[in-house]
Amino acid sequence: MLEIDLLVVPGSGPVGVAATVDLAEAITRSHTGAHASVDVRVVGGDIGTIALRGGMSIPAIPLSDTGPARPWVVVPGIGESGATEVERRMNDPELRAAAAWLAAGSEGGSRVAASCTGTFLAAEAGVLHERTVTTTWWLAGLFAARYPRCRVDADRMLIRDGPALTAGAALGHVDLLLAIIEDEFGPAIAGIVSSRIAVAPRISQTPFRRSAVYRDLDPDLVTVERYVLDHLDQPIRLDELAAAAHMSSRTLARRVHAATGLSPIRFAQRIKVESALDLLRDPHRSVTEVAHAVGLADATTLNRLLRRTTGQPPGRFRTATAR
């Protein structure tokens, strides 16, 4: 039997909490054998119940009463989506207590799996130090700045590094849970559960990234975005981006990295990838035409770029659209 502690804090996202409980039930109902069963224990707080975001609540064993953490501790998003709010929450006494409990559990041998903004709680506990991790993509810059001992790759939906698993934005929690099932019961059972819930594991967050979201983190980035879109079919140079933004190259690099976790040129490249994915939805455009539209030499170059950033070839996005 797979035993999981689901660590929740006040304001945790109900999607991750419900998905953890539902997938445990899905395994039980999948007729995969008695050995493939999951027991989820909800833990957190100190009063026996946790108020989730959206007015919901869930019974929870107070952290002081849990005893040793179970072999897996799963941490869903903490319920905040903005950089300022996430930083403020990290100082809340409830989160400090949860981080201390998580650190003790990791030292006792528990594996930690965190998704979305739950990755901040795991990093705060120190269990992600010196590891490659992912997080919710629009907070990657904040994560990288706050936890410099972590190696952040927010293009990926899921990352395994040693005993730690991390996943991207909110619904990446399902990818996280399927990865735990695969680790514990093997790919066959993970495939059965995936089929039952009609969700296939995803490799990358890149198709979901939208540069417009970064405007909330730094409104000046709209100038960079506009310049790239206006010169989409041309090569982009750092000095040109800096001149368009009326900043020095060094200041631009600092601002872009703080908001996105990327260099200015990689940020520009992400805008081009975003545009390419949008253009691929047009069945009247060939892959070569899309490549030329975003300033690439040919379809082979676009294929290489998309495989590197999304893990998928251009045709995969055409197929997804056609369906």
- Which residue range is the domain that position 216 belongs to? 208-322
171 and 59 in a common domain: yes
Q: How many domains does the chain have?
A: 2
Q: Choose the final residue of a domain: 164, 186, 202.
A: 202
31 and 78 in a common domain: yes
| Segment among 36-40, 110-114, 194-198 with least mean pLDDT | 194-198
State pLDDT tens for residues 229-278: 899 999 899 999 999 999 999 999 998 888 888 889 988 988 888 888 88
149 and 8 in a common domain: yes
130 and 253 in a common domain: no
Select from 204, 196, 216, 198 the least CA-distant residue to 169: 204
State pLDDT tens for residues 44-57: 999 999 999 888 99
236 and 179 in a common domain: no
294 and 232 in a common domain: yes
CATH assignment at residue 217: 1.10.10.60
Span 126-149, mean pLDDT? 91
227 and 140 in a common domain: no
